[in-house]
Amino acid sequence: MNSKHQYVELSDGHFIPALGFGTYKPEEIPNSKTIEATKIAIEAGIHHIDCAYFYQVEEEVGLAIRSKIADGTVKREDIFYTTKAIEKCKDAGLAKSIGMSNFNCRQLEMILNKPGLRYKPVCNQVECHVYHNQKKLLDFCKSKDIVLVAYGALGTQRIKKWVDQSSPVLLDDPVLGDLAKKHKRSPALITLRYQLQRGVVALAQSLKENEIKENIQVPNSKTTEATKIAIEAGFRHIDSAYFYQVEEEVGLAIRSKIADGTVKREDIFYTSKPGEELFPKDENGKIIYDSVDLCAVWEVECHIYLNQRKLLDFCKSKDIVLVAYSALGTQRDKQWVDQSSPVLLDDPVLGALAKKHKRSPALIALRYQLQRGVVVLAQSFKESEIKENIQV
């Protein structure tokens, strides 16, 4: 998983990357290590950086972020930086969202019931890992639409003045080791996957380059689960791409549904787009684009607002099938799309048609494409939407 492909929505409408980088370090380690580790984390694809005044490394973290902005690795808006903010910071535009840290259920309840509360906390950051899973607190937070953020996700920080050094080390746990061996993953990745599957935002802290780069590879569990639901609902055409960075997760879902008897391999029509390294190249290393022998399908963005009429007519004339991605509207990725642009499924004409035919706007949009002879790709992570879309 690349962290930019997996987010958790906060109750105030903002999105937090599901995997973050923790910057706490023991006192004996020099602060300069934090600068380098944070740079490595950002380069590896982690854009959620967690810090606190207590850690005494905010300046170093800031230097690392500014450095990666300056060299073009990221833009400031790409970075989700968490520290311990108050209402005045949000009023001044210095903070997008406000959360809590180390609050239990009773304390959170007191905050939520505080007279004159202007900003409901959107998250609560606590120590949370396999040995201390915070189930009661997690259930409470979910009931209040508060995201739980786990620090110490790879095990308790083993600071001598706080922790008995003879206590077990989480990543050395034999059960965790067996799971890691079974799934051909490190114990750290199994631990992080455990948190993401529970809907917990996990902070993975390390100063070692190889560990930082490994931690970002935690599989995208949402993609696996959504693909399973799609197959169970009746979808047999599964589309992916190297660029999406979820082909492994899609494969896990397909193999799982084959293994449990839901489908046979021959039932699944799997489409993908390879990475550039798989394309043929000339002696100078440039991609050869004219080496395709046969083009049976052409996949493009295609929906009611971008109906690709001219291209569709051309494809039909050449006996090429047009496949529509974003059939339910342009993916509203902030780095590509103006967030003030209209949302297709909120279109009033589409809404009127949906009301007339007693269908959802999504089903009307999908039916429109099928009637034109277009193959449509309907994307969603919500079980209810996936099951509805197959009813077209």
pLDDT in tens, 367-385: 999 999 999 999 888 899 9
177 has pLDDT over 70: yes
Helix (H, G, I), strand (E, B) or coil at 294: coil
The active-site residue out of 55, 81, 119, 244 is: 55
C-beta atoms surrounding 197 within 10 Å: 13
Residues in the chain: 392
Angstrom distances, CA of residue 385 to CA of 13, 53, 161, 362 = 20, 42, 51, 9
The Cα–Cα gap between 166 and 177 comes to: 19
Long-range contacts of 186-189 (CB under 8 A, 24+ apart): 186/214, 188/154, 188/214, 188/215, 189/214, 189/215, 189/217, 189/218, 189/219
pTM over 0.85: no
pLDDT in tens, 178-203: 999 988 889 999 999 899 888 899 99
pLDDT in tens, 66-115: 999 999 999 998 899 987 677 888 899 888 899 999 999 999 999 999 99
Q: What integer pLDDT is reported at residue 289 of this predicted model?
A: 65
Q: What integer pLDDT is reported at residue 294 of this predicted model?
A: 57
Contact 203, 151 (CB under 8 A): yes
Determine whether 55 is an active site residue: yes
Strands 19-22 and 201-204: parallel
For the chain, how big is the Rg over CA atoms in Å? 24
Helix (H, G, I), strand (E, B) or coil at 194: helix
Bridge partners (DSSP) listed for residue 301: 325
The Cα–Cα gap between 42 and 61 comes to: 11
Which tokens hold the place of 72? Answer: 């073009």
Q: What integer pLDDT is reported at residue 222 of this predicted model?
A: 79
Section 299-312 average pLDDT? 95
Chain-wide mean pLDDT for the chain?
89
Residue 173, φ and ψ in degrees, nearest 5: -60, 130
The Cα–Cα gap between 202 and 229 comes to: 24
Percent share of the chain, pLDDT over 70: 94
254 has pLDDT over 90: yes
The Cα–Cα gap between 104 and 26 comes to: 25
Who contacts 365 (Cβ-Cβ below 8 Å, separation ≥6)?
303, 304, 327, 328, 329, 344, 345, 350
3 has pLDDT over 70: no
Contact 159, 26 (CB under 8 A): yes
The Cα–Cα gap between 282 and 123 comes to: 52
Nearest to 13 by CA among 75, 76, 96: 96
Category of 18 on φ-ψ map: left (φ > 0), alpha (ψ -120 to 50) or beta: alpha
The Cα–Cα gap between 374 and 315 comes to: 10
Domain edges within the chain:
3-218, 220-291, 294-392
Which tokens hold the place of 51? Answer: 């810090």
- For every residue of 77-145, DSSP letters joined together read GG-EEE----HHHHHTTS-S---EES--HHHHHHHHT-TT--S---EEEEE-BTTB--HHHHHHHHHTT
Contact 300, 311 (CB under 8 A): yes
CATH code of domain 3-218:
3.20.20.100
